[in-house]
Amino acid sequence: MKDLPATTEPAAPPASLAGVLAEIAEVASETLELQQVFDRVANAIRRLIPLDSLGVVRILDGRWLVLHAITCRVHTDTPEAEGMTGPCPQHECSQPESLESWSPRLRPRQGPIARVDDAALELDPAFPSDRRLIEKGVRSAMWEPFRAAEAFGGGVWASAQRAHAFSDEHQRILRPIAALLGSAVEHWRIWDADRRRQERFDRIEALFATLASSLDVREVFQRLSAEIQPILGHDLMTLSELDARAGVARITAHVGECDIPVPEEPIPLTPAELAGQIEAEVIHDILTEVPPGSHRQRLMLASGMRSLLRVPVWLSGEIQGGLIFFHRDPSRYSRDDVDVAHRLADRIALTLSLGRLSEEARIAAEARERAERLEATVATLALELEARGRSRVVGLSRAWKETLRHVGLVAPSETTVLITGESGTGKEVIANLIHQGSARTGKPFVAINCAALPEQLLESELFGHEKGAFTGAMATKIGRLEQAAGGTLFLDEVAEMSPVVQAKLLRVLQEREFHRLGGTRTLRADVRLLAATNRDLDRAIARGEFREDLFYRLNVFAIRVPALRERPEDILPLAEFFLEDLGRSMGRPAAGISRDARGWLLSHPWPGNARELRNTIERAILLCDGGLITREHLPPAPGRDGVSARPHDGVARLDGAPFPPLGMDLESVERSLVQKALGESGGNKSKAARLLGLTRAQLYTRLEKYGLVH
């Protein structure tokens, strides 16, 4: 019997492309992290292609590549090592590498690349990537691109450490493998982008603790930069403040250095740059993309930076500035980074908003504290004024309290004050309060009514005179300016001064010196000047009756005392005060004020203000004879229907009368009007001048002209 031949195992059938593709698809479906299973993918492909190393490349922005995954065969002489892989599987993408580092022969691109059959002869070691392949012993290589999102996304390369390792058939087989791996890489890219985006957002949220440690972003900007560096790398980070009206941006905080000093002065922006602040901005390469057309662009070019990322900082619905990142390398920022920067800018805006609210609250608290101090000061001054036997300060109205607030503000200073208001409103009371609140409170308060004296007497009363200065000057007289030395001089009805006295008073205000009438010795005027008037000084200046330069010297700080009709809340408190004060001084206090009398007091227009109210109460006390003040004890319904007579009503009545047939004597008419005004004013020349619409000096001229001087 013949011996049968020994049985042998049948040879394994050659691997099919479909089977390998199915295996790759199954392996790749186990995880989105292709790097973790890439060695198994490479082993499957080796059944069709005799490769030693396999790599997947991703293209970034058409200019950079990263090695997404790589695996290689261990080369040893032991049979046990045959078919084994490692130690080079890569579980993280490599750092971006410029496509320019590859020679044109092997530079990854979306078109075909001829196979490399002998790298030592075909590659160029002058290029870093070519040189690296040669140094690793690569002799054969082939490349197959794949697409991602309808664009060139990368490719697969295979290499072997022997020459002429690959054929056209191997190249054909690699094509569907590359398409399958490209699809897996794209899925991973989408997943990884979302994962990394969320991780970056989570780290941004963690930065809120740093921002919350201070309401001033500038104080934590250094820490903020260090903490965001791993997720948004930068060589310089700045925070700018935008002034849209002025068209400038100002850098308020910065971390890092550049080739020029970070500008401290405002940076002017062109209209286009100003409009562009509303959008995020990414510049891949400042040197090639930014022209030197504006001041901002020239600063960017001189900075030595290559990449820029800017996002707006919004606050209260308006752009308040920008958060800007710079890097010395080009193409460091993408649109993905914009979302991260936006999130950080929003957190910074929140901190700025809280800081602004805190600052506003602090300012408001300080304002309330100042107001309370002012109110306390005014209350103290009022008590001091009352204790010194002067008028009590009475008033509850908002207008009156605002006037007193101004008193509290200006009293401690040496500022000249002009007090305006109608006759009888209490301007001298305000002047006394100012004096009591000043550093001169222990020194004299001297008042002079400029309307009560003719020009020469007023000049003498104010400045004093030397013996023999004029007829009747029998001895030297000290003027009010000297009497008030170290204290306060109050000039009531200052608008009634003659031009001569106004000129001399201006010198006192400008030079703080004066001469007595008829004297040559210069005297120092160590006084604080307060002035008051019930006239419209603007109109007086326009008519040439008051010096404009004197007005500006007096009107350093103006206080308007409101008329009584403007503060009706103060009428009854003032009436009660006058009732108590006058009843005590007259020795016959009234029982009170009836309801109907109170109603009349509130309805009366009070053209004479607080002075008229005081006189009315005084009259009523006499009439009620210790009883209750009723409506019948008060004046009849206001004359002229409660409306003050206008200064020129008489003229208006004359306008309607025809001239006498033989004409009229104008001087006689004027003389009679002057006499009538003197009669109605009871001989008070200042009041007569106001009735006639004249200054006191103009009235004196007419009195002398018509022989009416007594």
Determine the Cα–Cα distance for residues 133 and 100; give it in Å rounded to an integer.
15
Q: Which residues pair with 283 in a beta bridge?
A: 308
Token pair in block for residue 167: 């054929």
- For the structural domain made of 17-198, what CATH number should be given? 3.30.450.40
Token pair in block for residue 391: 């008028």
State how far the alpha carbon of 414 is from the alpha carbons of 440, 488, 503, in Å: 9, 10, 22
Token pair in block for residue 260: 């020029």
Total Cβ atoms within 10 A of residue 505: 26
pLDDT at 710: 56
With 0-12 / 13-18 / 19 or more C-beta atoms within 10 angstroms meaning exposed / middle / buried, residue 64 is: middle
With 0-12 / 13-18 / 19 or more C-beta atoms within 10 angstroms meaning exposed / middle / buried, residue 92 is: exposed
Q: What are phi and psi of 434, to 5 degrees?
A: -60, -45
Question: Do the domains 209-359 and 17-198 match in fold?
Answer: yes
Token pair in block for residue 495: 């608008």
Token pair in block for residue 670: 């004027």
CA dihedral 431, 437, 442, 444 (to 10 degrees): -10
Token pair in block for residue 463: 């400045």
Determine the Cα–Cα distance for residues 702 and 485; give it in Å rounded to an integer.
37
Determine the Cα–Cα distance for residues 527 and 438; give it in Å rounded to an integer.
12
CA-based torsion, 488, 493, 494, 497: positive or negative? negative
Domain ranges of the chain: 17-198, 209-359, 390-562, 565-642, 649-705
Give the relative orientation of helices 696-705 and 666-680 as an angle to the nearest 10 degrees: 120
Residue position matching structure tokens 């210069």: 522
Residue position matching structure tokens 């310089």: 236
CA dihedral 618, 622, 625, 630 (to 10 degrees): -60
Amino acid in the structure at residue 344: L
Amino acid in the structure at residue 183: S
* CATH of 565-642 given 3.40.30.10, 3.40.720.10, 1.10.8.60, 1.10.10.60: 1.10.8.60
Topology of domain 209-359 in CATH is Beta-Lactamase (3.30.450)
Question: Based on C-alpha coordinates, what's the Rg of the chain?
Answer: 49
| Domain covering 390-562 assigned CATH 3.40.50.10490 in the classification | no
Total Cβ atoms within 10 A of residue 156: 25
Token pair in block for residue 434: 């100012």
Amino acid in the structure at residue 653: R
pLDDT at 166: 95
User: Over the chain (710 residues), what is each successive 10-residue block's mean pLDDT?
Assistant: 42 69 84 79 91 89 82 54 46 76 90 91 93 93 83 88 94 91 80 70 64 65 82 89 90 90 92 90 93 93 94 84 92 84 79 62 70 62 52 78 87 91 88 88 89 81 82 81 91 89 89 85 89 90 90 91 90 89 79 88 88 89 85 72 42 51 65 81 78 78 71
DSSP H or E segment with residue 78: none
Determine the Cα–Cα distance for residues 313 and 322; give it in Å rounded to an integer.
5
Residue 316: strand, helix, or coil = coil
Topology of domain 649-705 in CATH is Arc Repressor Mutant, subunit A (1.10.10)
Chain centre distance of CA 12? 82
